[in-house]
Structure 1
Amino acid sequence: MERELKLRVAVEDLDTLLHMPLLAQSPGAGGPPRLLTSTYFDTPDLEFHKCKASLRVRAIGEQRIQTLKLEAAAQAGLFDRDEFEMTVDTDVPNLKLLRERIPGDSGCGRLICDEATVGRLKPIFVTRIKRSAFPLRLPSGDELEIALDEGSVDAESGSVPIAAVELELKGGQPASLYGVALEMLDLVPLRIDRSSKGDLGYGILIDEHCVPVKAQPVQLEKGDSVEDAFCSIARNCLDQVYANERGVVSGHDPSSVHQMRVGLRRLRSALDLFAKVIPAFDGLDEELRWIAAELGAARDWEVLAGSTLEHTGVSAHEEEIQPVRQACERIAVNNRARAAAAVESARYTRLVLQLALWLNQKGWREGMSDEQRDAISKSARQFAADVVRRRQVKLLKRGKGLADIDDRSRHRARIAAKKVRYATEFFASLYPRRAVRHYVEALTALQDDLGWRNDAVVADQLLKALPRTAPEVASGAAFARGYLASLVAADYETLKKLWKRFRRLSTPH
Structure 2
Amino acid sequence: MARKSETPQEVELKLEIEPSDLETVLAHPLLQAGTGNEPQKQDLHSTYFDTPDHALKQAGLSLRIRHNGTQRIQTVKAAQAQNGVALTRGEWEHKVDGDKPDFSAAEKTALKPFVQLQDRIGPVFSVTAERTLREIPFGLSVIEVAVDRGTVDGQALPLPFGELELELKQGSPADLFGLARTLAMAAPLRLSFKTKAERGFETISRVVPNRVKAEPVTLKRRMTSAQAFQSIGASCLRHLMANEALVRQAPEADTVHQMRVALRRLRAAITLFKHVVADGRRDPIKAELKWMANVLGVARDLDVYIQKVLEPAQAQHQDDKSYTALLAYYRKRRKQAYRMVQETIASGRFVNGILEVAAWVQAGDWLQDRSKPARQRRKQPVVALAEQELGRRWKRILKRGKHLAKLEPEERHQVRIEIKKLRYATEFFENLFKGGGAKKRRRAALKTLETMQETLGGLNDIAVGFEMNSSPAAVAIHEEQMARVDGLLAAAKKQYRDFAALQPFWSV
Q: Is 1:455 paired with 2:444?
A: no
Partner of 1:94: 101
Cα distance, 1:272 vs structure 2: 1.6
Distance 1:335 1:240, change over 3 A: same
Cα distance, 1:376 vs structure 2: 4.2
Partner of 1:166: 165
Distance 1:12 1:375, change over 3 A: closer
Rounded Cα–Cα distance in structure 2 between residues aligned with 1:96 and 1:55: 10
Rounded Cα–Cα distance in structure 1 between residues aligned with 2:10 and 2:182: 22
Rounded Cα–Cα distance in structure 2 between residues aligned with 1:421 and 1:330: 34
Alignment of 1:101-500 (within 5 A): 101-102=108-109, 106=113, 109-111=115-117, 113-114=118-119, 117=121, 121=122, 124-125=125-126, 127=128, 129-140=129-140, 142-154=141-153, 158-210=157-209, 211-216=211-216, 219-221=219-221, 225-251=224-250, 254-279=253-278, 281-282=281-282, 283-308=284-309, 314=313, 316-317=315-316, 319=318, 328-329=330-331, 331-361=333-363, 363-367=365-369, 369-378=371-380, 380-399=382-401, 401-428=403-430, 429-430=432-433, 432=436, 433=438, 434-462=440-468, 464=469, 475=473, 477-500=474-497
Q: Secondary structure at the match of 1:166?
A: strand
Alignment of 1:78-89 (within 5 A): 78-89=86-97
One-letter amino acid of the structure 1 residue matched with residue 269 of structure 2: A
Partner of 1:65: 73
Which runs of no fewer than 5 residues in structure 2 stay unpaired? 1-8
Rounded Cα–Cα distance in structure 1 between residues aligned with 2:226 and 2:75: 39
Partner of 2:11: 3
Q: Secondary structure at the match of 2:484?
A: helix
Partner of 2:35: 26
Distance 1:488 1:225, change over 3 A: same
The question of whether the paired residues in 2 share the 8 Å contact of 1:7 and 1:77 is answered with no
The question of whether the paired residues in 1 share the 8 Å contact of 2:219 and 2:228 is answered with no
The question of whether the paired residues in 1 share the 8 Å contact of 2:84 and 2:231 is answered with no
RMSD between aligned residues: 3.8
Cα distance, 1:135 vs structure 2: 0.8
Distance 1:390 1:124, change over 3 A: closer
Rounded Cα–Cα distance in structure 1 between residues aligned with 2:380 and 2:450: 30
Count of paired positions: 487
One-letter amino acid of the structure 2 residue matched with residue 287 of structure 1: E
Rounded Cα–Cα distance in structure 1 between residues aligned with 2:420 and 2:235: 17
Cα distance, 1:181 vs structure 2: 0.4
State the percentage of identical aligned residues.
Answer: 31
Rounded Cα–Cα distance in structure 2 between residues aligned with 1:40 and 1:425: 35
Q: Secondary structure at the match of 1:257?
A: helix
Cα distance, 1:377 vs structure 2: 3.7
The question of whether the paired residues in 1 share the 8 Å contact of 2:50 and 2:63 is answered with yes
Cα distance, 1:485 vs structure 2: 1.8
Cα distance, 1:407 vs structure 2: 1.5
The question of whether the paired residues in 1 share the 8 Å contact of 2:413 and 2:460 is answered with yes
Q: What per-residue deviation string (whole Å, max 9, x for no partner) do you get for residues 17-40 of structure 1?
A: 3343323443444x5633334455
Cα distance, 1:289 vs structure 2: 0.5
Q: Secondary structure at the match of 1:298?
A: helix
Q: TM-score, normalised by structure 2?
A: 0.80
Cα distance, 1:388 vs structure 2: 3.7
The question of whether the paired residues in 1 share the 8 Å contact of 2:127 and 2:150 is answered with no
Rounded Cα–Cα distance in structure 1 between residues aligned with 2:51 and 2:491: 57
Q: Secondary structure at the match of 1:216?
A: coil
Rounded Cα–Cα distance in structure 2 between residues aligned with 1:303 and 1:241: 20
| Deviates most, 298-307 or 197-206 | 197-206
Rounded Cα–Cα distance in structure 2 between residues aligned with 1:162 and 1:389: 47
Which runs of no fewer than 5 residues in structure 1 stay unpaired? 468-473
Q: Is 1:35 paired with 2:43?
A: yes
Q: What per-residue deviation string (whole Å, max 9, x for no partner) do you get for residues 47-95 of structure 1?
A: 76677655544332332333444568789974443444332333x2234
Rounded Cα–Cα distance in structure 1 between residues aligned with 2:356 and 2:238: 16
Q: Secondary structure at the match of 1:454?
A: helix
Q: What per-residue deviation string (whole Å, max 9, x for no partner) do you get for residues 234-277 of structure 1?
A: 44444533444434334376333323322321221222223244
One-letter amino acid of the structure 2 residue matched with residue 26 of structure 1: T
The question of whether the paired residues in 1 share the 8 Å contact of 2:107 and 2:115 is answered with no
Distance 1:80 1:309, change over 3 A: farther
Cα distance, 1:284 vs structure 2: 0.4
Distance 1:194 1:85, change over 3 A: same
The question of whether the paired residues in 1 share the 8 Å contact of 2:83 and 2:231 is answered with no
